[in-house]
A and B are shown apart, each in its own frame.
Chain A
Amino acid sequence: MSAIPTIAEAARQIERKALSPVELTAACSARIEQLQPVLHAFITPTLELAAEQARVAEREIARGAYRGPLHGIPIGLKDIYETAGIRTTAHSQQLIDNVPTTDATVVRKLAGAGTVLMGKLATHEFALGGPSFDLPWPPARNPWNPDRHTGGSSSGSGAAVAAGLVLGATGSDTGGSIRTPAAFCGVAGIKPTYGRVSKAGILPLAFSLDHAGPLAWSAEDCALLLQATAGHDARDPTSADRPVPDFCADLARGVRGLRIGIVRHFFERDNPVQPATHAALEAAIGELRAAGAVIRDVTLPPLIEWTSALTIVTLSEGFAIHRERLRSRFFDFGERLRDRLLLGATISAPDYVAALQRQRQLCTNLATVMCEVDLLLTAATGGEAPLMNDVPKWGGFDKPSFMMPFNLSGSPAMSVCIGFGPNGLPLAMQLIGKPFDEPTLLRAAHGYERLTAWRSRRPEPAEAITRR
């Protein structure tokens, strides 16, 4: 097997027994063995387990017990998702020997769907602060160029999907941690509505802002993974008791008639993007307009307002979560995470409450704007992935994030590849939907992907990366 299929493509072949889950898993395993020494996407590969799960899936399918489109599909789990009997480290010395006794709800659901677990994936330590070089494992590297950053914090997830080490992966997103690695690695990543996917058994960063969601090669694949993982969970007090729609039902409808509001001031005034990114965004907007979307500019409060509120909430909640570890095992944190967490000690309760009050105000403003459109479109990142060695320790404090507004609002949001920059690295746009309207968001993303050829371009062959 040479070409790397999408989940949807593989599923169609597996269902009609034209593709063997054992062979598909073996192909992923071979790529992992070849590329893991370069990309460091995994903390704990589980290749023997994967081979056994693939054999079980194949036997089940052969006897007619096909479970659905994820049956026999190789996936990876960000290493903050608890896995019974498999260590869950959060990429941290703090949890280097942590072997949970139960699965996270999402892990249990994916196993129930018949997926094949290739392993636990690299992350920024406890989903914040990387890339770090003082942890027990090196940071993941970008398959488009291993000298480049993957983005984070779901760094291994972005790298593994882009390189075809897995066909789908889980991530988490508190301030852009699904969407940024999706953007830098040229894959699709969706942060669903807050409460849509259970966080039970996922190590927290900031309780009120954490979202769980998938990364995959395409929007259609994200829809398939979301279908298997969404739904109310009594184990998670923030889980929403809402019906789960068919996330694939509207995919084929295209973008015609969708009303898309462009948040242009985010990427032109509040945090101007690089010229190539601006050109790619304009081209994407033009493609959507030409395909029948109704485009107009909209205005939201400045990015810095959103970023300020989110940063204060994240640092406060993150410090509360890790305070005891900071007291008792200070040096078992990497420097980047540890020093960020310490800033949380400087924020008072009244300032935290003020940030929550500002959050409500900002979200009220967003809801008013969303009454007039179906979706928003803005930048995902300011440009191509930076060099690993150029990622500053305090990155993010100097420029406001395009992602953070939609963690504050809990809105569903996606990164979608819109081309490649001057260094051959992926560029992305961000699409944002109304709360619990992931079907429209996925419809637009899939519609855009079908209008363009970007999904046909993968990182260069594994052999070339390995030779560098």
Chain B
Amino acid sequence: MSRDELALLFRRAGLDIAPETIDELHGIYGHIEAMIERVNTPAEGDPMLVFAPLELPP
């Protein structure tokens, strides 16, 4: 995601963020992007169901 796309997301969320903060967040966003990619990578045996916290294993 580019810096401008990130700034647009904040504006859409109703947040007026200082340019230097957007720069810093864009710098750290690579970690988030990698995590998003990881959870979106299908894994073998993935039941593709959403976790419900009280459905705990026996």
A367 and B57 form a contact (CB under 8 A): yes
B50 and A353 form a contact (CB under 8 A): yes
B53 and A195 form a contact (CB under 8 A): yes
- Quick one: closest B residue to A355, CB to CB? B39
Residues of A within 8 A of B34 (CB): 308
Please provide the chain A residues from 344 to 384 with a CB less than 8 Å away from any CB of chain B in the complex. 345-347, 351, 353-361, 363-364, 366-367, 370
In angstroms, how far is the closest chain A Cβ from the Cβ of B2? 12
B6 and A346 form a contact (CB under 8 A): yes
B28 and A394 form a contact (CB under 8 A): yes
B56 and A435 form a contact (CB under 8 A): yes
A307 to B49, CA, bound (A): 19
Residues of A within 8 A of B50 (CB): 353, 356-357, 360
Residues of B within 8 A of A434 (CB): 57
Residues of B within 8 A of A323 (CB): 13-14
Residues of A within 8 A of B10 (CB): 342, 345
B9 and A436 form a contact (CB under 8 A): no
A343 and B25 form a contact (CB under 8 A): yes
B40 and A354 form a contact (CB under 8 A): yes
- Quick one: closest B residue to A368, CB to CB? B57
B54 and A308 form a contact (CB under 8 A): no
In angstroms, how far is the closest chain A Cβ from the Cβ of B52? 8
Q: Interface size (B, Cβ < 8 Å)? A: 35
Please provide the chain A residues from 179 to 217 with a CB less than 8 Å away from any CB of chain B in the complex. 193-195, 208-209
B39 and A346 form a contact (CB under 8 A): no
Main DSSP-derived SS at the B contact region: loop
In angstroms, how far is the closest chain B Cβ from the Cβ of A300? 13
A133 near B: Cβ within 8 Å?
no
B53 and A339 form a contact (CB under 8 A): no
**How many cross-chain pairs have Cβ atoms below 8 Å apart between A and B?**
114
A309 and B28 form a contact (CB under 8 A): no
Contact of A339 among B9, B16, B25, B40 (CB under 8 A): B25
Residues of A within 8 A of B47 (CB): 357, 360-361, 364
Please provide the chain B residues from 9 to 42 with a CB less than 8 Å away from any CB of chain A in the complex. 9-10, 13-17, 21, 24-25, 28-29, 31-32, 34-36, 38-40
A360 and B49 form a contact (CB under 8 A): yes
A361 and B45 form a contact (CB under 8 A): yes
A345 and B39 form a contact (CB under 8 A): no
Residues of B within 8 A of A346 (CB): 1, 6, 9, 25, 29, 32
A176 near B: Cβ within 8 Å?
no
B49 and A194 form a contact (CB under 8 A): no
Residues of B within 8 A of A273 (CB): none
Most chain B CB within 10 A, of A195, A342, A410, is at A342
B49 and A436 form a contact (CB under 8 A): no
Residues of A within 8 A of B25 (CB): 339, 342-343, 346
Please provide the chain A residues from 385 to 401 with a CB less than 8 Å away from any CB of chain B in the complex. 394, 397-398
- Quick one: closest A residue to B30, CB to CB? A397
B53 and A351 form a contact (CB under 8 A): no
A398 to B54, CA, bound (A): 30
Q: When A342-B25, A360-B50 are in contact, do A347 and B38 touch as well, CB less than 8 Å?
A: no
A308 and B35 form a contact (CB under 8 A): yes
A358 and B43 form a contact (CB under 8 A): yes
Residues of A within 8 A of B48 (CB): 357
Residues of A within 8 A of B32 (CB): 311-312, 315, 343, 346-347
A355 to B43, CA, bound (A): 12
Residues of B within 8 A of A435 (CB): 56-58
B38 and A304 form a contact (CB under 8 A): yes
Residue ranges of B at the interface with A (Cβ–Cβ < 8 Å): 1, 6, 9-10, 13-17, 21, 24-25, 28-29, 31-32, 34-36, 38-40, 43, 45-51, 53-54, 56-58
A-B residue pairs, 8 tightest by C-beta: A367-B57, A308-B35, A359-B51, A435-B56, A360-B51, A397-B31, A308-B38, A356-B50
Other A-B contacts than A323-B13, A339-B24, A342-B10, 8 sampled, CB-CB below 8 A, are: A304-B38, A339-B25, A342-B25, A346-B9, A354-B39, A354-B40, A356-B50, A367-B58
8 example contacts (A-B, Cβ-Cβ < 8 A) are as follows A304-B38, A342-B25, A346-B6, A346-B32, A357-B48, A357-B51, A364-B45, A398-B31
